[in-house]
Structure 1
Amino acid sequence: MRVLGLMSGTSADGVDAVLAHFSGQPQRPRWTLEAHHFSPYPAELQRRLIHVGQGEPVPAAELLELAEAVTEHQALAARACDPVGRAQLVGCHGQTLWHRPPQPGRRGASWQLLQGPLLAELLGRPVVFDFRSADLALGGQGAPLVPPADQALLGRCGGWRAVLNLGGIANLTLIPPATGPQRHQPVRGWDCGPANTLLDLATRHFSAGRLAYDAGGAWARQGRCDEALIQHWLREPYFQTPPPKSTGRELFGQADLERRLGELGPRDPADALATLTGFSAAVVAHELGHGPQPVELLVAGGGCRNALLMEQLRLRCRGLILRPLAELGIGDAEREALAFALLAWWHVRGHRGSLPSVTGARRAAVLGLLAKPQHART
């Protein structure tokens, strides 16, 4: 079956779309990645999404219009990736506005902005969406959802294999080895903390809105990293909490940046960016201590294009083979969209797509809701 996967992450920079073909057994499918397209959000749409995601109050009418705009842009990305309409199914994550992990005495919740039935009608294809709610209803974190897809798509190696996504938030997957006494261990995964969220917000701040991100880490490279402050930040509660855990802009957003800039004090912007870049890498190295030691770290996501961030990762994750996920056939911008294509395929196959070992839910669940167009295209 050909499936379109659509993903827009915490950075809210646009929609990654992939067209993939799946066949065989759900646990270890045969798959082919046939096309990829990135459709950036218009600047004003990105600005509105980030501001709402930071908790800015807006009228209900504006939220409705925002949901329509996001849905229409998902359709635009889908058509650009699959212009002749070969896909039989669409899996769409939507745009996260707010994520609330479970707390003692209170279940978690997560809001992915999308009008699923509208997208199905626009594309004339069934759409699987709202992937997180079933896991949240079962007491899970609702995130991350990609680790079981990582195992199914990538398989295992001779030791623990780690997959790192450097999006707005950094998240990890740990896949157990193919052989040996730990081969029966479950897949693990969790959100590490900030990757690009604080860096992008700081770049906008220091450039007075002229720059959306620090391209290649060039600005940060001109500064000096405050290692003592990084070690101080790593003692914060989130980094001391063992998995399962998940996070987003609600914890590592504008308010958090302002606090950290206050702790940095009046120093050169390059020094602040260098310290935040080192912090993003240090978070990953620190969080790897919460699980079994992997033999390799496969890296994907927009942070791969930040040369300084990658250098910091290599420096702080010594002893690991660090290489791009693209070496295994999945580009750094394709991984999550491909995962949601697979989750959609799993949904129609009735295959449980969540892992209690990752999210902490009471049991695994078939993820997503299915919206069908009223008049499907032929």
Structure 2
Amino acid sequence: MRVLGLMSGTSADGVDAVLAQFSGQSSRPSWNLIHSASCPYPSDLRKRMLAMAQGEAAPAAAILELAEAITEQQAKAAEACDPERSASLIGCHGQTIWHRPPENDTRGKRRRGSSWQMLQGPLLAHMLQRPVIHDFRAADLALGGQGAPLVPMADAALMGRIEGWRALLNLGGIANITLIPPSQGPDKKRPVLGWDCGPANSLIDLAMAVFSNGQERCDKDGGMAALGQVMDEPLTSWLSEPYFLKRAPKSTGRELFGRKDLERRLRELQPARPEDQMATLTAFTAAVVAQDLQQLGDLGLPLPTEMVVAGGGRRNKTLMRELQSRCHGLRVRPSDELNLPCEAREALVFALLAWWHHRKHPGNAPAITGAEHSCVLGVRAEPP
């Protein structure tokens, strides 16, 4: 079955699309990546999305218009990736505007989580004239889960196992990690694990916009960070913040690591040069991941044998060097070496999740999100 996957992550750079073929067993499918495309968001649209994602108030009319514009961009990406409309099903993540993980209130009462992936599913189904599976996080959240990350079970199905533990790290706006048990040995029956580590590109991109007076969206190739020196004292202090000491399941987003958070960190880095501040923010992402891996011993788990890296942050050479330096004993390699282009991985995951929905195969796991039980993810919208 041919399925089109559409993904727009926390960085809100644009829509990544993949056209893939799936067959065989749901839990270990045969798959083939046929085509991929990436469609950047227009600058004005991206500005409006980021403003809303940072908590800025907007009238109902503006929210409605934004949802329509996001849906139209998803349709453009789909057409660019599959102009012949050969896919029989679409899986679309939508654009995350706000994510609220489950938490205990001041009285100790558990409050369920909620998450908003902006999209008009029926409109997209009408524009593409094919069924669209969307709103993937809602069912897991209803079952008391984090609603994120949703990629780990799909990662395990797509990438398979090796002799040792394998880690897959996605460097989007937020860094999330998947741990896949080995193919043999006593840990073979362990569950797949995964969680959101913390910021990846979110703070780096926002800082670059500050330092360039809005002229640059990202630190291309990590060039600015490469010119600076990492400031160890504030970095060490940041690693002791509550989120980084929290055990999985855990998830996060721009609500915690957004513009206000960046402003606070930049104040703490004053009066250092911008290059030193960028170097420290870049090292921060790597240090958060390394700290999470070092804490695996507390769960009775060894370090992974290798860590496969995907997402836009893979292109940041300084960040990749920091990861290799700080993640001692791991082989760090790009997902491209496994015939999976680093920007296509999450779109491929949502194509698979749509295929799983079609087959009524669960896409989440309690060990990852904390949900009461596993379930089929997504809501199906038919062309009206």
Fold conserved (TM > 0.5)? yes
CA offset digits 1:223-268 (Å, max 9, x no partner): 1110121111000000000100000000000010011011111221
Q: Percent identity?
A: 61
Q: CA deviation at 1:311?
A: 0.5
Contact map agreement 1:176 1:182 (CA 8 A) in 2? yes
- Superposition pairs for residues 46-61 of structure 1, below 5 Å? 46-61=46-61
Residue 364 of structure 1 is aligned with which of 346, 363, 374? 374
Q: CA deviation at 1:290?
A: 3.5
- Amino acid of the structure 1 residue aligned with 2:351: A
Partner of 2:197: 192
CA offset digits 1:306-325 (Å, max 9, x no partner): 01000000100121011111
- Amino acid of the structure 2 residue aligned with 1:269: P
Partner of 2:15: 15
Partner of 1:151: 156
CA RMSD in angstroms comes to 0.6
The reply on whether 1:294 has 2:299 as its aligned counterpart is no
Partner of 1:341: 351
**Runs of 4+ deviating beyond 3 Å:** none
For 2:273 and 2:366, the matched residues in 1 are separated by 45
For 2:363 and 2:222, the matched residues in 1 are separated by 36
Residue 227 of structure 1 is aligned with which of 216, 232, 244? 232
Partner of 2:78: 78
Residue 314 of structure 1 is aligned with which of 305, 324, 327? 324
The reply on whether 1:65 has 2:75 as its aligned counterpart is no
SS in 1 for 2:94: strand
Partner of 1:304: 314
For 2:347 and 2:365, the matched residues in 1 are separated by 19
CA offset digits 1:125-180 (Å, max 9, x no partner): 00000000000000000000000000000110001000000000000000000000
SS in 1 for 2:144: coil
Partner of 1:329: 339
Provide the TM-score with structure 2 as the length reference. 0.97
Provide the TM-score with structure 1 as the length reference. 0.98
Structure 2: state its 5+ residue gaps: 105-109
SS in 2 for 1:182: helix
Q: CA deviation at 1:346?
A: 0.3
For 1:353 and 1:290, the matched residues in 2 are separated by 26
- Amino acid of the structure 1 residue aligned with 2:357: H
- Amino acid of the structure 1 residue aligned with 2:70: V
Partner of 1:353: 363
Structure 1 residues 136 and 286: alpha-carbon distance in aligned structure 2, compared to 1, 3 A threshold:
same
SS in 1 for 2:176: strand
CA offset digits 1:48-70 (Å, max 9, x no partner): 11111000111110000000000
For 2:35 and 2:264, the matched residues in 1 are separated by 42
The reply on whether 1:35 has 2:47 as its aligned counterpart is no
- Superposition pairs for residues 212-251 of structure 1, below 5 Å? 212-251=217-256
Count of residues paired in the alignment: 374
Contact map agreement 1:220 1:274 (CA 8 A) in 2? yes
Q: CA deviation at 1:331?
A: 0.7
SS in 1 for 2:47: helix
Residue 126 of structure 2 is aligned with which of 114, 117, 121? 121
Partner of 1:132: 137
For 2:74 and 2:35, the matched residues in 1 are separated by 16
Q: CA deviation at 1:289?
A: 2.5
SS in 2 for 1:74: helix
Contact map agreement 1:242 1:290 (CA 8 A) in 2? no
For 1:81 and 1:200, the matched residues in 2 are separated by 26
For 1:130 and 1:289, the matched residues in 2 are separated by 34
For 2:240 and 2:32, the matched residues in 1 are separated by 43
For 2:334 and 2:270, the matched residues in 1 are separated by 35
For 1:258 and 1:238, the matched residues in 2 are separated by 18
For 1:227 and 1:158, the matched residues in 2 are separated by 36
For 1:195 and 1:279, the matched residues in 2 are separated by 9
- Superposition pairs for residues 265-276 of structure 1, below 5 Å? 265-276=270-281
